[in-house]
Structure 1
Amino acid sequence: MTPAVLPFGRNRRLLSSVALVPLLWPVDGLAQTAPTTPRGLDPIVVEGQTARPAKPRAAANAGSSRQRRAAARPAAAPAPAPAEAATTRAATAPTFNLGTPSSTGSRLGLTPLQTPASVEVIRAETIAERGQHNVIDAVTQNATGFTASPAPGNGGLSFVTRGFSGNGTVMTLYDGTRMYVGSGTMTFPFDTWTAQRIEVLRGPASVMYGEGAIGGAVNVISKKPLDVQRNEAEVSLDTNLLRRLAVDSGGPINPNVSYRLAAIGNMSDGWVDRDTMSNVAVSGSVRVQAADNLAFTLSEDYADRSPSRYFGTPLVNGGIDESLRFKNYNVGDSSIRYRDNWTQLKTEWDVAEGVSVKNVTYYLSSHRHWKDVESYAYSPATGNINRRDYIEIFHDQEQLGNRFDATFKGHLFGLANQFVAGFDVNRIAFTHTNNSPYSGSSTVNPYNFDPGYFQWVSSTRPSFHTLTTQYGLFAENRLSLTDQLSVIGGIRSDHPTVERTDFLTPANSFEKTYSAPSWRVGVVYNPIPDLSLYGQYSTAVDPVSNLITMTGVNRDFALSTGKQVEVGIKQQLAGGRAEWTLSAYQIVKNNLLARDPQNPANTNPLQIGQQSSRGIEASAGLKVTETIRLDANVAVLRAKYDDFTQVVGGQVVNYAGNVPANVPQVVSNIWATWAFAPGWSANAGVQLVGDTWADNANTLVRPAYNVVNAGLMWKPDTRQTLALRVYNVFDTIYATSGGTSQWILGMPRTAELSYNVKF
């Protein structure tokens, strides 16, 4: 469904949007006097889940269970203080937050310092300060070693890390729950307004979440009910006519019930021609404290998105012609729409001292529709653009599941021990409707052309349906051998069964059960407080293609397997004023599908390929003074195919030694923040991405790029923030994804003005 276009011109839309600002700006805000003393940087540390304090055995009955649980519940910031109080606030710890408990790298609630893996936590305040409105920007501009290759065809959520790319090898979760990937597509979550924080795990995550996470995982944690009333609203406008309106409210309904409701809406004309887009996301939750030791949280998330229909800019002589930068070669009646719904019921029960149980029951659905012409190629002979692949596709996916775990904290052979065990089960129904074989073609002038209309060459009809049932068992244990040395191990076993019904070719229908075991063991040594040395060995499994859309050709192949060795060091310094991490790893993935090198005519693949990557990652954060903070990270890697045979032009070609497509070898982020005057602060960051091959044959490289973003914020008091941000300050022309004929370009220089108020 094509987003509605407002019935008035671009200039009138701009004037109307600007006119909203005075309506939302409190009149008395203009009369506020700026503080007269220097004010430090606002904290950007992660608001992680506060660890439940261990209760002394001798005082087992001291304090109620409700008090203990209150420590674990997210609390709102105190009611805004007078402007004078804000002058005493100072810059706190850098963004890595090694002492903040995380749920993504371990089910035991360990901090990154305690976890033998590379885990980072990005707080909502950090994301807001840097003006990162979508999950892709928040992860790739803050986390170490992450890039992305978003496109309309993959839902705009596709990450790359440690040499592996795509939704089949880098998993995206929401509140620790995964939606199984169908046809390489993930469409939720996308906006950061409803996120309390984002946690990332680099390296295999199958022991935590099952198959499909050999590269890593991104876990978006939603905003939770609050025990103190808090309200917030924000409005913004940018030079692409992106109008953004957001609200957030949370607080107690009565002593035992609290709520949270966050909503965001965006509308934009887009930065390429004819690319109007819009979206709405709503996240609501209610928490009921049924007893001192029992709580229920019901959450509902809904998103309706009509995203960009820009599929890329055709290459001219292997590169970008700047005169085509803002051209959109899609048809005039193109349409993309994603509708996602997540319903979750979480139960938390403190059974006894040191024993707790959690259960999450969820229903997820996603309904997606594309109607586009998606492939463009420049013809040197005619100077025109050839368009092909008139595609209409529907995805209808429903997933019902349950995850249960029980945690035990006590002693084993006189040694402190933490143990968690549980299971999860899922039932996923997926229907793929399309107009395959995606016929249709047209030719247009590169500069002045009629976009035309969608060509109905082939009828759109149901193609196949799959019903996937999955159950998995998992366990994790941490044994403290001494106060300085601990051993952490985990194991998981998944057993998915896929039933595929092929409506077009019934002979291709099948039923297949797979086994997906994975495990991890690691050691953490603390020679001094706040310094951790660690090492780990982990295994992982990936399907040869997305599990719930497995084809008949691939059904008899085993899951691909992987293993990783990682060592590293992490440290907090000067009471949290500085943090740094350093890690080195090697990952090997086996059982890739490749062609038979002895029989090129055989189109059936063999499971003989291998891919590997090794690299070094470092991150550091420093609060230089009370008003200056620096954060930086860098990842350097060597990713390659060790054995990957393909047939090109009837000839066998082995891509051994080639770099996988979409994998840069160098990635870095640098941020600086300066509170230079009372109530004023500025920040600037640069994202550096190295050369990236556009294809596995390594015939065409997407050039390296550096993108600079900057912002200026004014806080007349603790309630209000007015921000001016400029994205891509130097208007760099760069490509984020694409093959050998067209590239999707990044956003040009864009200025944004926003106003935020808390009340």
Structure 2
Amino acid sequence: MPKLIPFSLSAIALSLMTALPAQAADNQDGVYTLAPTLVTSSFREDSLQDTASSVSVLDEAELNKPGNNHLEDVLAQTPNVNLSAGASRGKYYQIRGVGERSQFIGVVNPSVGVLVDGIDMSAMTMGATLLDANQVEVLRGPQSSLYGSNALAGLINIRANEPTDTLEGNVEVTVAEYNTHNLAAAMGGPISDKVSYRVAAQRNTSDGFINNDYLNRDDTNNIDETLLRTKFRIAASDDLDLDLTAFYANIDNGYDAFSLDNSRHTLSDNPGHDRQETLALSGKSSWYGISAFILETALSVNKSELEYGFDVDWTYPGLHPDTYSATDNYYREERGATADVRFISTEESMLFNDTTEWTGGLYYFHRSSDLNREYTYLSSNFTSEYEANRFAGYGELETALTDKLTWINGVRLEQDRTFYSDSDGNRSKPTDLLWGGRLALEYQTSDSQMLYALIARGYKVGGYNSNGDLPNALRDFAAETLWNYELGTKHNLLNDSLQTQVAIFFQQRDDAQINASRTVIRPDNSSTYTDYTANAEQAYSYGLEAQAQWQATDAVRLHGSLGLLNTQLEESGANFDGRDAAHAPEYQFALGVSLDHGRGWFSGLDVEGKDQFYFSDDHNARSDAYALLSARLGYQQDNWSVTLWGKNLTDEEYAVRGFQFPNDPRKGYITEQYVQLGAPRMFGVTTKLAF
């Protein structure tokens, strides 16, 4: 266990000892309860403690901690959830060791779905920011009954604040090291007695923490993000409610993160970039015109321009006589659309003697992705076209077998039709017919305890590897299926002041899609890294997820989570045969405490950590185990606050992405491990005004 952990636990304990006595004297008989948390990313809204699956919910208090701007800033609070960088942001997610870690030529069909206000952002996750976010829900395990192929491993659902009936808003300003500035504002209220709105905007900039010694610049790995969201809620009639959302993101980040000596000092003469411009619209209607069911219709469209490029050699001409010079750039146009028509039973239409609630629906998904690759060693640009259309029907029954025992069963049938072609003359037009679902038993032993057992089947479509360096035998990869077996318990204890969740699971993957790679040596002895998708014969994982939050007193709130995970991939003759899956640490944890010291003063401590893990399934590069400590101290009065905060206070050096290949001419291009380092120690101050 990293040496930071005992120190961090001692610091949290010391803070508690300082705060508890004074509060206990004032509240000897006080009872401090936690408000119920709703999970919205399911067939029906339900409380977190009554949801029969392993779910984490990050509330507004957690999301609004200073320095939290993106999903990558908060996901460490959730057990067995990881992310990989390899660009300006961590934008590829893994749940229980399943998920992608990068994208180059190939089209990625994500294993972890990402939704923002009903908009599918799974293929453009830099737009999955925490702008005016109210709640982030993380559902572990396949969610195919409701979300289909894009939720094989799980789902991340971000919900922004809704329009309000009264005028309200806030402005937040952050200034931090590395020339970091963040300005965010939100405002909402009524337009009329039937229409309300909310608008939010954010401007986030930073020079980043990389120094390019060759160019004598400190901003080649910068952050430059502009975000805007508007929402409207319309009571169109007594029977019809409408919710409309528009989202725009303009992201122009730098990418200059790797060096030959694994430091934060680079030598690249052509620093890369990581850009995304997204416009997305969504609408949802809820119609209550007849008593037999509620009709919900959800539509969304999105368009994104993505550009990702980097200096392949990481150096400059003249570093060494044998140095080569190359750049690689990927420009993508992504378009998407979804339509979901859902029928939800009412009390008057329940089945089987009024014991069974039902939900059924039809779903359509469209995605197109056009690529233009510019690479130094290509005689002409590589281009490709990809289009996917999916049609699905789904349904779920929730039957009360007794007053305490509920049986849930759902199923989804989905057809995927894909078209692919590229400038190398490759062409593919596969069709997959897939199914998934779940069976669950939920037993309420008392008002404060629930037990559940769950079996779920997830699926993911197959595809085609387009890289011309690959032999024909590696061009196609098959659809994947995942079976999840899970037992869990949830408790409300100590007069509802303590909430706990514990789940154990076993997952079996057939034809598991893994990210593989091949190193190709050029005539000049330099190398290129070829990335592709392959199928493993079999893969499995098992583990435990535990979470707790405790409102110990009115002034003290604690939270913690623990994830234990064991994974294994099996493929005779492969490098990864019998090995752990990539980005699947055997343990990870998070602990935190928030303190109210009275008279407007507050503070908090958080520690997060994880075990070592492999960066890829195709080489042996590994991270080290690490733990990160963060703290904050602030003052609040009436409707304003000022917070001084620090992250990674011990200045831990840790890696967020890694590779293993030859790239240093000074060493004769021997194979070495290269890593992208995470953020160093950073201090900042945040001021917030609410009205």
TM-score scaled to structure 1, two decimals?
0.76
Aligned residues of 1:101 and 1:110 also touching (Cα < 8 A):
yes
Aligned residues of 1:466 and 1:548 also touching (Cα < 8 A):
no
The residue number in structure 2 matching 1:505 is 424
Aligned residues of 2:271 and 2:311 also touching (Cα < 8 A):
no
Aligned residues of 1:736 and 1:745 also touching (Cα < 8 A):
yes
Q: 1:678 to 1:605 in 2, by over 3 A?
A: closer
Offset of 1:176 from its aligned partner? 3.6
The residue number in structure 2 matching 1:170 is 112
Moved more, 508-517 or 522-531: 508-517
Q: Distance in 2 between matches of 1:39 and 1:291?
A: 53
Q: Distance in 1 between matches of 2:588 and 2:479?
A: 30
Q: 1:193 to 1:593 in 2, by over 3 A?
A: closer
Instruction: Give runs of aligned pairs for residues 652-731 of structure 1, distance below 5 A.
Output: 652-653=573-574, 655-696=576-617, 699-717=620-638, 719-731=639-651
Offset of 1:403 from its aligned partner? 1.1
Q: Which amino acid aligns with 1:636?
A: L
The residue number in structure 2 matching 1:366 is 304
Q: Distance in 1 between matches of 2:533 and 2:224?
A: 42
2:345 to 402, 408, 416: 408
| Identical columns (%) | 20
Q: Distance in 1 between matches of 2:395 and 2:413?
A: 10
The residue number in structure 1 matching 2:690 is 758
Aligned residues of 1:39 and 1:675 also touching (Cα < 8 A):
no
Aligned residues of 1:161 and 1:202 also touching (Cα < 8 A):
yes
The residue number in structure 2 matching 1:526 is 444
The residue number in structure 1 matching 2:87 is 152
Aligned residues of 1:206 and 1:540 also touching (Cα < 8 A):
yes
Q: 1:39 to 1:546 in 2, by over 3 A?
A: farther
Q: Alpha carbon RMSD of aligned pairs, Å?
A: 3.1
Secondary structure in 2 aligned to 1:575?
Answer: coil
Secondary structure in 2 aligned to 1:207?
Answer: helix
Q: Distance in 2 between matches of 1:385 and 1:685?
A: 48
Q: Which amino acid aligns with 1:505?
A: D
The residue number in structure 2 matching 1:224 is 162
Whether 1:240 and 2:208 are equivalent positions in the alignment is no
The residue number in structure 2 matching 1:304 is 250
Q: 1:467 to 1:674 in 2, by over 3 A?
A: same
Offset of 1:309 from its aligned partner? 0.8
Q: Which amino acid aligns with 1:617?
A: E
Offset of 1:223 from its aligned partner? 2.4
Q: Distance in 1 between matches of 2:142 and 2:134?
A: 24
The residue number in structure 2 matching 1:541 is 459
Aligned residues of 1:302 and 1:340 also touching (Cα < 8 A):
yes
Q: 1:364 to 1:40 in 2, by over 3 A?
A: farther
Secondary structure in 1 aligned to 2:64?
Answer: helix
Aligned residues of 1:665 and 1:690 also touching (Cα < 8 A):
yes
Secondary structure in 2 aligned to 1:116?
Answer: coil
Offset of 1:756 from its aligned partner? 0.3
Offset of 1:371 from its aligned partner? 3.1
Aligned residues of 2:82 and 2:583 also touching (Cα < 8 A):
no
The residue number in structure 1 matching 2:209 is 271
The residue number in structure 2 matching 1:100 is 37
Aligned residues of 1:661 and 1:696 also touching (Cα < 8 A):
yes
Q: 1:267 to 1:474 in 2, by over 3 A?
A: same
Q: Which amino acid aligns with 2:190?
A: P
Secondary structure in 1 aligned to 2:39?
Answer: coil
Q: 1:313 to 1:530 in 2, by over 3 A?
A: farther
Q: Which amino acid aligns with 2:233?
A: R
Q: 1:200 to 1:389 in 2, by over 3 A?
A: farther
Aligned residues of 1:465 and 1:500 also touching (Cα < 8 A):
yes
Instruction: Give runs of aligned pairs for residues 206-605 of structure 1, distance below 5 A.
Output: 206-273=144-211, 274-275=219-220, 276-314=222-260, 316=261, 320=262, 324=263, 326-332=264-270, 334-353=272-291, 355-374=293-312, 376=314, 390-410=327-347, 411-436=350-375, 438-439=376-377, 458-460=379-381, 463-502=383-422, 504-506=423-425, 508-544=426-462, 557-592=477-512
1:335-354 Cα distance to aligned partner (Å, 9 max, x none): 33210111012111113346
Q: Distance in 2 between matches of 1:371 and 1:593?
A: 25
The residue number in structure 2 matching 1:50 is none
Offset of 1:480 from its aligned partner? 1.2
Q: Distance in 2 between matches of 1:337 and 1:194?
A: 22
Q: 1:569 to 1:419 in 2, by over 3 A?
A: same
How many residues of Structure 1 are paired with residues of Structure 2 in the alignment? 618
Offset of 1:217 from its aligned partner? 1.3
Q: Distance in 2 between matches of 1:139 and 1:188?
A: 15
Secondary structure in 2 aligned to 1:279?
Answer: strand
Q: Which amino acid aligns with 1:419?
A: W
Aligned residues of 2:659 and 2:675 also touching (Cα < 8 A):
yes
Whether 1:636 and 2:564 are equivalent positions in the alignment is yes
Secondary structure in 2 aligned to 1:132?
Answer: coil
The residue number in structure 2 matching 1:598 is none
Offset of 1:220 from its aligned partner? 1.0
Aligned residues of 1:187 and 1:340 also touching (Cα < 8 A):
no
Whether 1:135 and 2:77 are equivalent positions in the alignment is no
Structure number with the higher strand fraction is 2
Offset of 1:469 from its aligned partner? 1.4
Q: 1:91 to 1:546 in 2, by over 3 A?
A: farther
Offset of 1:412 from its aligned partner? 2.5
Offset of 1:39 from its aligned partner? 11
Q: 1:101 to 1:614 in 2, by over 3 A?
A: same
Offset of 1:545 from its aligned partner? 5.1
Secondary structure in 2 aligned to 1:125?
Answer: helix
Aligned residues of 2:303 and 2:334 also touching (Cα < 8 A):
yes
The residue number in structure 1 matching 2:140 is 202
Q: 1:606 to 1:676 in 2, by over 3 A?
A: closer
Q: Distance in 2 between matches of 1:737 and 1:385?
A: 27
Aligned residues of 2:575 and 2:619 also touching (Cα < 8 A):
no
Gaps of 5+ in 2: 1-20, 102-109, 212-218, 516-531, 661-672
Whether 1:116 and 2:52 are equivalent positions in the alignment is yes
The residue number in structure 2 matching 1:74 is none
Q: 1:699 to 1:481 in 2, by over 3 A?
A: same
Offset of 1:549 from its aligned partner? 11
Gaps of 5+ in 1: 1-37, 42-86, 440-456, 596-603, 646-651
Offset of 1:458 from its aligned partner? 4.6
Q: Distance in 2 between matches of 1:127 and 1:431?
A: 34
1:350-409 Cα distance to aligned partner (Å, 9 max, x none): 13346211111111111011232145599xxx9999676511111001112211111003
Q: Distance in 1 between matches of 2:80 and 2:506?
A: 14
Secondary structure in 2 aligned to 1:701?
Answer: coil
Q: 1:356 to 1:129 in 2, by over 3 A?
A: same
Offset of 1:328 from its aligned partner? 3.0
Q: Distance in 1 between matches of 2:475 and 2:415?
A: 15
Aligned residues of 2:256 and 2:271 also touching (Cα < 8 A):
no
Q: Distance in 2 between matches of 1:745 and 1:605?
A: 26
Q: 1:487 to 1:593 in 2, by over 3 A?
A: closer
2:679 to 747, 751, 754: 747
